[in-house]
Amino acid sequence: MGTAALMIEPSRVLGANDRVRVGFIGFGGRAQELVTQLLPLPGAELVAVADIYTRRLDEAKHLAPTVRTFDDHRRLLDAKDVDAVIVASPLHMHCRHFVDTLAAGKDLYSEKTMTWSIAEAEKCLAAAKDSNRIVQIGLQHESSGALADARKWIGDGMVGKVTHVQSWMSRNTPRGKGQWVRPIPADCNAQNVNWQAFLNGRPDRAFDANKFINWRLFWEFSGGNVTENMVHQIAWIISALDLNLPAAASMSGGVFSEPDGREVPDTIAVTLEYPSLAVTWQSTFSNSHFGLGEHILGSDGTIEHVAGANDMVTGTSASSIHYYPEKLNRPGGTAVAGQTPDQNHMLNFIDCIRTRKQTNAPVDIGYRSAIAAHMANMAYRHKQRVTLETAKTMVDPVG
Ligand SMILES: NC(=O)c1ccc[n+]([C@@H]2O[C@H](COP(=O)([O-])OP(=O)(O)OC[C@H]3O[C@@H](n4cnc5c(N)ncnc54)[C@H](O)[C@@H]3O)[C@@H](O)[C@H]2O)c1
């Protein structure tokens, strides 16, 4: 596949005044948020949408009457007038859409988590390295000012030796309404959905509207809250501290607050072991008091990055980052509040298509964060601590 990606020329070379013509693969909830970020950008144009559910194509036409719609992503990728593709399909389809997009010579924005499995992460990394295409992963906190602040404080030696990073995410829902559970539209049936395309090689079975709409709740299609949200925070921590891959991972928890038939746990405790530090991450779905955040604990100082319960998803609500000195080792140090403004993650993608510079969330951070997430889920499903080596070779009970 990498060779194919090399051989295929991009649709065109963009001049300074040319608009970047963008297509979407998957036009559900997240894509319809991303399109509102794309449309205001002066250098970008929405030209095509591919989805396998007729309702989503109707919604695209309603939003942009001239948009061309496709019921098969391969037909969108054949289109010569598409320069770049945004992949916002369910997790178990990311790898296929990622690799196909690069092989078609298009630049790529792929939603997180980059892939559903470790093997797929390896495949996408290789495909991206073999191509000269721009890749941005939908890890929008890689464009945050808070990350720039944390990197600067760490780089300036204000934090000292870091052996532990604590992180957490807490959410709540009204009693009786499960986190992530979406209503099934009346037109969601086997006539309007290409169910085989959704299964993407999973064992064949009769159409299941709940699994199609609420795919997040089931291992075959999802990685649960580890791939929905931990991945944002672990990517941020990896980038702040320049970490590579975990040496080992453990994860425990269960379906405690949402006993609605879901398979993925709602209550989670993860430990990721890096060569000289441990990262812990906890998730709960029945209490939102502490929102979400990260504490980088160093011998010379602490970085506290906290946000409201939904920040990592919408990217819109307020968050703050502070540095506090450890007076034991930095007696003259003073507390600092981070001030660096966020960059626009979508604009960064469009800019990089023109400049051919590396994006804020290139394939490497997609890869490293995906491997950490999948190692944690492997540890949970196998009920044991897994090392990087064993995670790569273990047979996944849902794979
Ligand atoms: N970066 C973020 O903050 C953020 C926030 C929310 C969701 N996401 C990610 O975005 C992705 C999509 O999530 P969502 O909530 O929009 O899901 P969704 O179910 O609302 O949308 C997925 C869309 O993909 C379509 N689809 C399914 N199979 C397809 C195929 N083979 N070809 C083309 N289209 C296909 C579905 O019909 C649906 O319209 C997920 O990976 C999710 O983790 C990221």
What is the C-alpha separation between 235 and 79, in angstroms, rounded?
A: 33
**What is the share, in percent, of the chain residues with pLDDT greater than 90?**
88
Query: What pLDDT shows up at residue 204?
Result: 96
| Buried residues in 50-86 as b, exposed as e (16+ CB within 10 A) | bbbbbbbbebbeeebeebbbbeebeebbebeebbbbb
Ligand 1 pocket member 107 (CB < 6 A): no
User: Quick one: which atom of ligand 1 is closest to the CA of 313?
Assistant: 3
SS3 209: helix
**What is the share, in percent, of the chain residues with pLDDT greater than 70?**
93
Q: Is the pLDDT of residue 15 over 90?
A: no
pLDDT digits (tens, 9 = 90+) for 18-45: 899 999 999 999 999 999 999 999 989 9
pLDDT digits (tens, 9 = 90+) for 51-105: 999 999 999 999 999 999 999 999 999 999 999 999 999 999 999 999 999 999 9
How is residue 81 written in tokens? 């007038």
pLDDT digits (tens, 9 = 90+) for 313-344: 554 456 899 999 999 999 999 999 999 999 99
What is the C-alpha separation between 293 and 17, in angstroms, rounded?
A: 41
* Torsion, Cα of 379, 385, 391, 393 (10° steps): -110
Of residues 386, 130, 365, 374, the one with CA closest to residue 248: 386
Ligand 1: centre distance to CA 191 (Å): 20
Q: Is the pLDDT of residue 14 over 80?
A: no
Of residues 81, 195, 117, the one with CA closest to residue 373: 117
List 269's β-bridge partners, or say none.
Answer: 252, 282
pTM for the model stands at 0.95
Q: Could you tell which of 25, 35, 70, 111 is best to mutate to test the pocket of ligand 1, judged by most ligand atoms within 8 Å of the CB?
A: 111
Mean pLDDT score across all residues of the chain: 93
Q: Whose CA is nearest to atom 33 of ligand 1?
A: 51
Bin 206: left if φ > 0, else alpha if -120 < ψ < 50, else beta. Answer: beta
Bin 232: left if φ > 0, else alpha if -120 < ψ < 50, else beta. Answer: alpha
pLDDT digits (tens, 9 = 90+) for 169-201: 999 999 889 999 999 999 999 999 999 999 999
Name, in order, each residue with C-beta under 8 angstroms of 200's C-beta and a sequence gap of 6 or more.
92, 93, 96
Counts for the chain of helices (H) and strands (E), in that order: 15, 15
